[in-house]
Amino acid sequence: MSFPKPGSTMMFFLAAILDLIGLACLILDFMGIGFGISFIPDLLGGVFLGSWLYFVRGDGMGFSGTSAKKLIGFSGGELIPALGDIAPFWTILVIMEILQD
């Protein structure tokens, strides 16, 4: 087993932080203020992790077929308000990409 590349490790920590922010938004939902800000980590995750998958993970530029399907599926899961806040979709996506190597 080889160690992941530094960029993959950095994306793992970014994904974990985004999922923790989503969980904090769920807690804020119970106070009535988290719903409006819960889409910010989802958008950031889609932009940063989507660009990482597009520019770094493929052969050259472009999505591989499985990476695009995973990104669409996990992004869709993140956009469901309560489920996206509870489930660590971004972290699971990065782990699956790292293990695919």
Assigned domain for 58 exists: yes
The answer on pLDDT for 93 being more than 80 is: yes
The answer on pLDDT for 97 being more than 70 is: yes
d(CA 7, CA 66): 20
Q: Write the DSSP string, the chain.
A: -PPPPHHHHHHHHHHHHHHHHHHHHHHHHTTT-HHHHTHHHHHHHHHHHHHIIIIIISSSSS--HHHHHHHHHHHHHHHSHHHHHHS-HHHHHHHHHHHH-
* Number of compact structural domains in the chain: 1
The answer on pLDDT for 16 being more than 90 is: yes
Assigned domain for 49 exists: yes
- Count the neighbouring beta carbons within 10 Å of the beta carbon of residue 15: 24
Assigned domain for 1 exists: no
Assigned domain for 37 exists: yes
Domain ranges, residue 40: 6-100
pLDDT tens per residue across span 58-88: 666 666 677 778 888 888 888 887 788 888 9
Structure tokens at 19: 């999922």
